[in-house]
Structure 1
């Protein structure tokens, strides 16, 4: 059984959704049969490469709200993160994530994709580290098991793994994903948004026992304020 997860490192609900999915997977009796593959999805392709825009300013501009309202939005997400035992900071920057996705494809080639994704989420949301800094990324990649020289090479070459990132994004569009996180089980069963852990467990059980027949409708979530981040 394969579970593909489309997500963006800039998406707080992807950070939360990963934890909830993992809790659901841990409760699934046949978890050892599950292969998890992380796929690329950019929420904001037009964001500047450097994460120099404070996330609260970005949210206020994107949704046409005041800074105080943006803080309230972030407080609700922080509460959801805390419910999963995750630290969450709103003093982080916002920027383009294409280089991060390319690095994750390199990590996949070394069999440490999940470890690097976990490190990137933690660095962004729990530590508010500057993910546009090659030195920061190099250290995170090396800590996850990616050779430092290879990480540096990929970060220095904007074409390295670019085709793989775009291929993931085309696949997401073909599957009808308009936001993340987006979970697909065996290219048959879809779950949209950071659903509760039990939803994931039930979906895995259903997929295992109902391997034939038409695909059911995906479980939906709405916007970045309620379980998923829309483009």
Structure 2
């Protein structure tokens, strides 16, 4: 019996750490989390746009710094460093706030344009819908890699945005696989397993995003040697 509990302990620790990180992240983005739920419930297009605009306005100040901090914690896990989750989260939050805010302003604007375009054309030609959805998927990947690059390198914002673009297109098949897994997790969480949203969804996406970034980043560095 003791052997069974001994083997299960690392699993319980991982579950606890994932839940602690996700809950910490949700606390920091609570207004956006509420608006995101509201976005799913509203049906009128004008109401959707109003809620969406509010999320976009708040995202650079709340979502981007908090998500960067979450990626910082995940990076430490990849480096196998022992950390205190809440303390480390707060440290990364403060250290990267200005950088995350600046990048968030740019990326939030791009997200707004992409989503608004999709909402206005979704009832028209289906082929165009797929193109816009594909662009949004690429933007999603780019955003994940931006968070990863912010906590992994010390390059300036403009250089980071260029580097992330290169990393995004460097291995499109592998990276797009990461996107599909993330989308699947989001779909299952919102449609079948809502408890994942409360406990695990943020770290799950961050782990996949940083894993993909690190693989492509390492490959590029090795090629340049």
- Please give the TM-score of this superposition, normalised by the length of structure 1: 0.30
Task: Name the structure with the higher strand share.
Answer: 1
Higher helix share: 2
* More RCO (CA 8 Å, sep 6+): 1
Q: Which structure has the bigger radius of gyration?
A: 2
